[in-house]
Amino acid sequence: MTDTTTGTHTGTAAQTSLTLLGLGDMGTALARTWLAAGHSLTVWNRTPAKAAAPASEGASVAPSAAAAVAANDLVVLCLLDDASVGSALDGIDLAGKDLVNLTTGTPAEARARAAWAEERGARYLDGGIMATPTMIGVPEAGGYVFYSGSHALFETCRAVLEVPAGARFVGGNPGHAALHDVALLSAMWGMFAGISHAYALIADEDIAPKDLAPLLSEWLGAMNFFVGNAAERLTSGDFTSGVVSNLAMQVVGSGTMLRTADEQGVSTELVAPYVDLLRRRLAADPAAHGGEDTTGAVLLLKR
């Protein structure tokens, strides 16, 4: 139930009644934290056996997704992908419901799902989980969830959303939680790729991965300055002021990186695409771009 004067769900923050659809690894972790915090939780999962664990911890198990949605106004979804959300909610009356969708999807999928929910009379909040299941309910692990969409809904259920992990609202555009999520994961992917390349380089040498590990960590930490630097340059449009590692030098240096990979018998497939971008940026106008840092690669990526 929603109190129409305050917009809050029935019960105190410590006793919210909510429904969770999806008891995979992530859904099960979420359920555990809400139950441990004393919330009244109704769960549903396509494969009923997975409801046994939350049931033993106090959850009510609904026999169908429709029954689970009918049980509470606040309905959290944590399913595999957007298609599974469509299939789980197909034909269910969502009028007056508050949907919080923690299922990973693209920004466009989130916007379409928000419009779909609103057409059916529901408020919609999209979430992008920046945590693994083992980080859920462990504040010191630093996990959190990006939220976007209905700010009123976010404020209404913020306290209960903050039980499993921190909550960061990133705007009214429902696609922005997914976009923040994927931007961070994409940067992480690039970092993982670079680390993989580094370990491949030493694979046949008398250098133990565990000896390279602390050096890699320290170096990546020191290079973290690029995050803020690039943001400032993209904002100001000034790619040259204060540059101490210029693009012309870096392009020559990248040749050393590629030749070293060759010497070590290592594929350049992870690093070559980035080197190509830097070369293209320089080649487009060596006089203008030679004194820049590497931020100009961003401009070449935009199609």
- Which of 20, 26, 69, 278 binds ligand NDP (CB under 6 A)? It is 26
Residues with Cβ within 8 Å of 134's Cβ and at least 6 positions away in sequence, in order, are: 29, 141
Judged by CB under 6 A, the residue of 132, 217, 224, 267 near ligand NDP is: 132
Site string for ligand NDP, 81-100 (x = CB under 6 A): x--x--xx------------
Q: Kindly list the distances between the CA atom of residue 272 and the CA atoms of 154, 194, 230, in Å, as whole numbers in the listed order.
A: 43, 11, 21
Q: Do 129 and 145 meet the contact criterion of CB atoms below 8 Å apart?
A: yes
Task: Tell me how far CA of residue 300 lies from CA of 201, 225, 238, 281, 297, in angstroms.
Answer: 28, 22, 16, 7, 5
Is residue 78 at the binding interface for ligand NDP, with CB under 6 A as the rule?
Answer: yes
Q: State which of positions 221-240 bind ligand NDP (CB under 6 A).
A: none
The answer to whether residue 19 forms part of the interface with ligand NDP (CB under 6 A) is no
Check residue 25 for interaction with ligand NDP (CB under 6 A): yes
Residue 1: HSE in the Cβ half-sphere, 13 Å Cα cutoff: 7
Is the CB of 26 or the CB of 270 nearer to ligand NDP? 26
| Residue number closest to ligand NDP, CB atom | 24
Interface with ligand NDP in residues 49-68 (CB under 6 A):
50
Round to the nearest angstrom and report the end-to-end CA distance of the chain: 47
- Is 23 a binding residue for ligand NDP by CB under 6 A? The answer is yes
80 or 234, CB closer to ligand NDP?
Answer: 80
Q: Are 46 and 88 in contact (CB under 8 A)?
A: yes
* Alpha-carbon torsion (192, 198, 202, 203), positive or negative: positive
Verify binding: residue 133, ligand NDP, rule CB under 6 A.
Answer: yes
Q: Footprint of ligand NDP on this chain (CB under 6 A)?
A: 22-27, 45-47, 50, 78-81, 84, 87-88, 103-104, 129, 132-133
